[in-house]
């Protein structure tokens, strides 16, 4: 017998953890980079931009949060014969006290590889927790929008692809229009996650983005809409509103305009899920939206706003 209330409660815990981590990450980037709100990443103005995507920082860096225990890097230009560092007139030598900001890891200095690994690990872990919760509470597959059939697979791929391309174009047009009126997205995180090697792109497109699409659709559409609607008879359209708000809040790194656009995008995906009853459709659509954004903006360097002006 399905334990609807237990699953909804576990889903709520995962959602709260996700939103808290999203807020902490957003605060860390804004506090430590000082320019995240402007959508500018200082790493892309340095000579290291063309270096390998896995070698920008030491391998120990594995999370986008500052660490107070990282020692200040040694400056190779310093000399032990520097007279200014010697005590004068017999005064006792006082060791320099490194500033906390000097010892902290700047989130913007983390390698793309570390950021991708962090995203894949965190969202993959949350996805496994939700799937485990669904199995433990015996939630029917159909309540999650899952089926095992050739027709389900075909519909998911065909309709999902069409929906993903259509929503991507609409999303880009909306963003370009907002840009022309002076409302810009904050795309700092997307720029930082964009690889600059073939291997990095393969990891992004074949591993990280699929994990993101599966987890976010399982949480925001299947768990927050499909299960409560099936288990408690709630209106899926009302649930879609609440789910879309949560989906928008989880993308606070994109700034206020990005949050609004993401909320609208979330509602469109929710509507597709409700109409088709298929989790696979929205997973495919979600993946294509993200993949096209990375390839077009970061891979090809094309901006819709600039293109529409010509």
Q: What is the structure's pLDDT at 35? A: 46
Which residue do the tokens 């008879």 mark?
233
Residue 144: pLDDT band with limits 50, 70, 90: very high
Residue 252 has pLDDT above 80, yes or no: no
Share of the chain above pLDDT 90, in %: 50
- The reported pTM is 0.74
Per the domain annotation, does 94 fall within a domain? Answer: no
What's the domain count of the chain?
Answer: 1
Per the domain annotation, does 123 fall within a domain? Answer: yes
Residue 201 has pLDDT above 90, yes or no: yes
Per the domain annotation, does 250 fall within a domain? Answer: yes
Per the domain annotation, does 38 fall within a domain? Answer: yes
DSSP sequence for 162-186 = HHHHHHHHHHHHHHHHHHHTT----
What is the overall mean pLDDT for the chain?
78
Cα→Cα distances 277→59, 142, 223, Å: 43, 8, 13
Query: Using a CB cutoff of 8 Å and minimum separation of 24, what contacts does 249-254 make?
Result: 249/19, 249/22, 250/18, 250/19, 250/22, 250/216, 251/22, 252/22, 252/23, 252/26, 253/22, 253/25, 253/26, 253/29, 253/36, 253/186, 253/188, 253/189, 254/185, 254/186, 254/187, 254/189
Per the domain annotation, does 187 fall within a domain? Answer: yes
User: Quick one: angle between helices 255-276 and 279-293, nearest 10?
Assistant: 150
Between 92 and 153, residue with greater pLDDT: 153
Residue 263 corresponds to which tokens in the numbers above? 């909320």
Domain interval for residue 105 = 4-70+99-309
Spatial separation of the C-alpha atoms in residues 174 and 261, rounded to whole Å: 8
Q: What is the structure's pLDDT at 236? A: 98
Top-ranked range on mean pLDDT: pick from 1-15, 51-65, 69-83, 181-195: 1-15
Per the domain annotation, does 178 fall within a domain? Answer: yes
Q: What is the structure's pLDDT at 204? A: 94
Between 181 and 92, residue with greater pLDDT: 181
């Amino acid at each position: 017998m399905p334990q609807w209330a237990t699953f909804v409660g576990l889903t709520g815990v995962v959602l709260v953890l996700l939103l808290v981590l999203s807020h902490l990450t957003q605060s860390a980037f804004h506090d430590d980079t000082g320019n995240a709100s402007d959508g500018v990443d200082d790493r892309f103005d340095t000579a290291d931009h063309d270096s390998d995507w896995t070698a920008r920082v030491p391998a120990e860096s594995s999370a986008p949060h500052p660490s107070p225990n990282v020692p200040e890097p040694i400056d190779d230009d310093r000399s032990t014969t520097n007279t200014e560092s010697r005590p004068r007139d017999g005064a006792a030598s006082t060791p320099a006290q490194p500033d906390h900001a000097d010892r902290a890891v700047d989130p913007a200095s983390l390698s793309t590889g570390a950021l991708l690994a962090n995203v894949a690990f965190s969202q993959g872990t949350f996805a496994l927790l939700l799937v485990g919760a669904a199995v433990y509470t015996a939630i029917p597959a159909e309540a999650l929008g899952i089926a095992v059939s050739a027709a389900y697979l075909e519909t998911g791929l065909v309709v999902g692809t069409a929906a993903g391309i259509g929503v991507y174009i609409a999303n880009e047009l909306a963003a370009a229009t907002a840009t022309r009126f002076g409302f810009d997205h904050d795309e700092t995180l997307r720029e930082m996650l964009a690889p600059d090697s073939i291997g990095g792109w393969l990891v992004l497109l074949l591993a990280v983005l699929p994990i993101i699409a599966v987890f976010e659709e399982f949480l925001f559409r299947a768990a927050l809409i499909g299960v409560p609607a099936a288990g408690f008879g709630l209106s899926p359209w009302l649930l879609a509103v609440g789910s879309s708000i949560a989906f928008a809040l989880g993308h606070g790194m994109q700034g206020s305009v990005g949050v609004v656009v993401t909320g609208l995008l979330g509602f469109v995906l929710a509507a597709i899920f409700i109409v088709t009853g298929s989790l696979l459709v929205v997973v495919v659509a979600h993946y294509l939206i993200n993949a096209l954004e990375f390839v077009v903006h970061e891979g090809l360097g094309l901006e819709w706003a600039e293109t529409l002006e010509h």
